[in-house]
Amino acid sequence: MEAGTLRQPRVWLPVVAGVGVAVCLGVYGRLHEPAGALDVPAFIRLQDTKVWLATAAAALGVIQLVSALAMYGKLPTARWIPGLHRWSGRLALLFSLPVAVHCLYALGFRAGEPRVLAHSLLGCVFYGAFAAKMLLISRPGEGRPWVVPLAGGLVLTTLTGLWLSSALWFFTTFGPGW
Ligand code: HEM
């Protein structure tokens, strides 16, 4: 690692922006009065939709990991791998957004039990890490080869934690819902 890499504005600005995104989401989720769930049958359908969208996002996260390992030479690669990495990332974000909007708007940031607190924190950190990673890759080749994998690893770890703390919990508690 190059000495002083973190002090380069192009590294810490994305980090500050990412922390800002995470904190803003958490503060919003805490201060906003949750809109609340719908009536019971509609709510159950909505929860099913959410857990499957979250599962699709997590599955795309696996593709992200495998394609990133190929791009970094840890697995065999091909010309289409970078495109696969970009599109799986875009789709994962797309699938996560309606879920997170419902979480934040209707449920808010909750801390009643450890799983729910961890889930709420992971949701905020996920978007912060995602924003930081997008800003970092927008300026490639500036002497910080470890920063982008670090940010990507954080995105993937938080996405996995989100899935474990919501969809997996839901499946093991209520079943797959079909
Ligand atoms: C942005 C910050 C987020 C906050 C504050 C948040 C908060 C919450 C809360 C409080 C619950 C209810 C948990 C319970 O009582 O069991 C919940 C449920 C859930 N969350 Fe999130 N969440 C966030 C982001 C996300 C993201 C990004 C995903 C998916 C990628 C996600 C997926 C889910 C799922 C599948 C459920 C279960 C269905 C439900 O209870 O409605 N959340 N979330």
Residue 3 lies in a domain: no
CA 67 – CA 3 distance, rounded (Å): 29
Q: How far is CA 129 from CA 21, 48, 72, 136, 157, in A?
A: 9, 26, 20, 10, 10
What's the CA gap between 39 and 59, in Å, rounded?
Answer: 30
Q: Indicate whether 77 pLDDT > 90.
A: yes
Domain range for 147 is: 17-174
CB 123 within 8 A of CB 152: no
Domain contains 5: no
107 alpha carbon to ligand 1 midpoint, in Å?
8
Ligand 1 atom nearest 95 alpha carbon: 30
The answer to whether position 168 is within a domain reads yes
Lowest mean pLDDT among 41-45, 119-123, 131-135, 140-144: 140-144
Q: What's the pTM value of the predicted model, to 2 decimals?
A: 0.91
Ligand 1 atom with the shortest distance to the CA of 26:
5
Q: Is position 12 within any domain?
A: no
**Closest to 21 in 3D by CA, of 105, 118, 133, 107:** 133
Q: Is residue 143 part of a domain?
A: yes
Nearest protein Cα to ligand 1, atom 19: 166
Tell me, yes or no, whether 159 lies in a domain: yes
pLDDT, tens digit, 9 for 90 and up, residues 82-104:
999 999 999 999 999 999 999 99
92 lines ligand 1 (CB under 6 A): no
**Tally of structural domains, the chain:** 1
Domain-embedded: residue 7:
no
